[in-house]
Chains A and B, each alone.
Chain A
């Protein structure tokens, strides 16, 4: 298994290279900008570079072992074809934004979270990075002529660990700095430093108790690292969102999440957060079925969930109890109007 230090990602003005080889094999789609490709290959220094016609020739092969691939993924460099922006899914929070979209700048992630829905969504555990951001921008400009856009960048991948290769965050921060009617959310389980403060960019940190991180969020930053990064971002004037989502049901969860909240409240100036999202684990029926098949040793997926509108949730009383537990701790310092909930699991 490759080691990855989440602290080594510095997605802002100055990039820090991740030392060592992250990918042994890189597949390169035909027709990409050769200079970009060369630049990435120099950084990755893979053992093998394999040209391909279309990224799906590798990514969508039948019967792939997603879990095995995620332990030592190959990198696929490709160009995305339209559509570049998708309407936000009903189980995702829009934070009150009417025109809520997400985009796929990369597929799959260097972190290996056992409960991640991407394992059920994609047929491969290999990582795809799309390089044609100019094409994305053309479509975005078109959307912005009709209405403002709230855009989530990192639904299909945590972008920070691959920033030294993709440059995606840097590119989109530059875009956001010139477009007032665009609001971005960049979600992460890493602990980046020196984040660039922009009034229309939200840095959203997934916050989990350390026992949950240790057990299920493999290779991701520790709770202490995430909180330190978030506190630094707030101090630098960034808009920071904490996401207690997904909350994972573990034995004696009140004690486990209580310990986490003590740490959060002591490190983060809660009043200065932009907002907080709270939600318990939920997953579509189809993805859970795949998750149970490919990760038979993962406890989270085998909980006796309740099926509601095609999504599996914890039972209502438990989900509501978990959300209230976080809410009660934060409301006195943040105010209820800045808390957003996963309504479906309440």
Chain B
């Protein structure tokens, strides 16, 4: 799944349109849109809203409280900053939560080929002339650190990505809505390309060969294996699969010799040892 979070509907709009996402009526706290492998939520402005929204969404979609290996969380939104071209899109290399002074670091290996910038997340809008003297070179927003911190409970740093489009040079009052929409539309293009490539790569990913679970379940039952022995058998079958060792002929031979099914637990353990030694014959 790709989990997208935007503070404002105007930030989310290009993504909703491109992916033809449909409004999910089952969510009452936030506007949520869904389509295929993509879920988008409009968090509202500020750190509290962002934290609650991310937690709410990921809890709902990840019952195990852990994102799947191929899942990603993406924050897409606007940010102000001095020394940046308005309309340019940046990946975020590190995030400072201004109130707590804590830094967050996303992994950058999977980032698109776009410029990177550090981000400061503030509890209130930052505008000149009140911005700190050291503001130059930093982007400012009001949700980034909260999204990263909340998502970190569910995901690793390689799964959380922040994309920011520069909306202003710390003059939020001067933002023109039409220009803002255009900037968000243009800024979404490289993000869409990145998401498409991500979805494509995960759907074509070569996974480790999986062993036949039918054999495993049958052997556990017919050998009367304990919980510990069952885990041992699972690892053994996995080892054989990865090592290209034939399993089925060895099991079939045990049936031919009437060793399977085992009549009781004691005999089962003996046959398990025979199975092990035959499967690993080429290693002895």
Contacts and interface: CB of A to CB of B under 8 A. Distances in A.
A71 B158 CA distance: 13
Interface in B146-162: 152, 155-158
A300 B104 CA distance: 35
Interface in A254-300: 292, 296-299
Given A48-B116, A50-B94, A52-B103, A68 B109 contact: yes
Interface stretch (B18-26, B165-173, B234-242, B254-262): B234-242
Interface stretch (B127-135, B187-195, B276-284): B276-284
Given A74-B109, A251-B243, A299-B239, A304 B232 contact: yes
A17 interface: no
A24 interface: yes
Nearest to B284: A318
Interface string B32-47: 0000000000000000
Contacts of A53: 103
Nearest to A321: B284
Contact of A252 (B116, B276, B282): B282
Contact of A304 (B94, B152, B276): B276
Contact of B283 (A61, A251, A297): A251
Instruction: Classify chain B's interface size.
Output: 20 to 34
Contact of A61 (B105, B109, B236, B242): B105
A297 B205 CA distance: 13
Interface in B200-228: 207-208
A118 to B, nearest CB: 18
A292 B231 CA distance: 12
Interface string B239-270: 10011010000000000000000000000000
Given A64-B157, A251-B243, A69 B109 contact: yes
Nearest to B206: A297
Given A69-B109, A252-B282, A63 B93 contact: no
Contacts, number: 81
A63 B155 contact: yes
A65 B239 contact: no
Given A74-B108, A302-B242, A63 B284 contact: no
Contact of B156 (A24, A58, A63, A299): A63
A95 interface: no
Contacts of B103: 52-53, 57
A52 B105 contact: yes
A48 B108 contact: yes
A332 interface: no
Contact of B243 (A24, A48, A64, A299): A299
B85 interface: no
13 contacts: A24-B109, A27-B105, A48-B93, A63-B66, A64-B107, A65-B156, A65-B158, A68-B107, A74-B108, A251-B282, A297-B242, A303-B239, A304-B236
Interface of A: 24-25, 27, 47-48, 50, 52-53, 57-58, 61-65, 68-69, 71-72, 74, 249-253, 292, 296-299, 302-304, 318
What 6 pairs across the A-B complex have the smallest Cβ distances? Answer: A297-B208, A63-B156, A299-B242, A302-B239, A251-B282, A72-B109
